Amino acid sequence: MAPHRGPASRGPVRNEVNRLKHTISALVKNRPRVLTRIAGLFARRGFNIDSLTVSTTENPNSSRMTIVVDADDATLAQICKQLSKLHDVQRVIDHTGEALVEREICLVKLRPPRERRSEVLQLVDVFRGDVVDIGGDVLTVQVVGGPTKVDAFVSTMQEFGIVEMVRTGKVVLTRGTQAT
């Protein structure tokens, strides 16, 4: 069983309901089907995935998965323990309560009325976003940041009529020397 860190790994589990979004990092071996195994585990046990990203790491033999789950404490503990049992999972970290650098990219396609374009551009600036494409009457805007910022950006843009939107899902690293 792979080691795991975080509140969910400690002590007896309290079955109190504390439903929240939690971020988990799983370091996994680069083996065929590792994503299927993890996705299958979530599906089979009825765990909800909010977002999941998979990326390469400093080590070519491992990938890092950043998984955001919607779970109460007991479920979160189960998710971490069940993940740790998978043979291809090397380490699981429940980041609840940890200091993190969190980032995601959001692309939004907008079709603002001509007279409100400059208003949009100003707001994009406030969020330190970039206009990355203009085609016809459509603007594509990119914003990078933590989930709160991206959420705020999206809700701000809503009134201009979002045509399409995509978010990468969040990636995180723990701050300072603590390993992720």
Q: Residues 76, 15: contact at Cβ < 8 Å? A: no
Reading the block at residue 79, the tokens are 């998710």
Stretch that binds another protein, among 36-44, 100-108, 119-127, 144-152 (CB under 8 A): 36-44
3-state secondary structure of 156: helix
Give dist(CA 102, CA 23) in Å, integer. Answer: 10
> DSSP string of 33-66?
THHHHHHHHHHHHTPPEEEEEEEE-SSTTEEEEE
Binder of another protein out of 53, 62, 82, 174 (CB under 8 A): 82
Question: Which of 59, 146, 69 is closest to 105 using CA atoms?
Answer: 146
Rounded Cα distance between 67 and 76, Å, is: 11
- The minimum distance between CB 76 and another protein, in angstroms, equals 11
Q: Decide: is 49 part of the binding site for another protein (CB under 8 A).
A: no
Among 14, 111, 128, 175, binds another protein (CB under 8 A): 14
User: Residue 35 and residue 52: Cα distance in Å, rounded?
Assistant: 10
Is there binding between residue 97 and another protein (CB under 8 A)? no
**147-157 vs 117-126: helix axis angle to the nearest 10?**
170
Q: Cβ closer to another protein: 80 or 171?
A: 80
Residue 161 in the binding site for another protein (CB under 8 A):
no
Measured from the CB atom, is 21 or 37 closer to another protein? 37
Minimum separation from the CB atom of position 139 to another protein (A):
42
Residue 59 interacts with another protein (CB under 8 A): yes or no? no
Q: How many residues does the chain have?
A: 180
- Minimum CB separation from another protein for residue 41, in Å? 8
Stretch binding another protein (CB under 8 A), from 28-36, 100-108, 110-118, 140-148: 28-36
Q: Residues touching another protein: how many (CB under 8 A)?
A: 20
Please, what is the minimum distance in Å from the beta carbon of residue 144 to another protein? Answer: 35
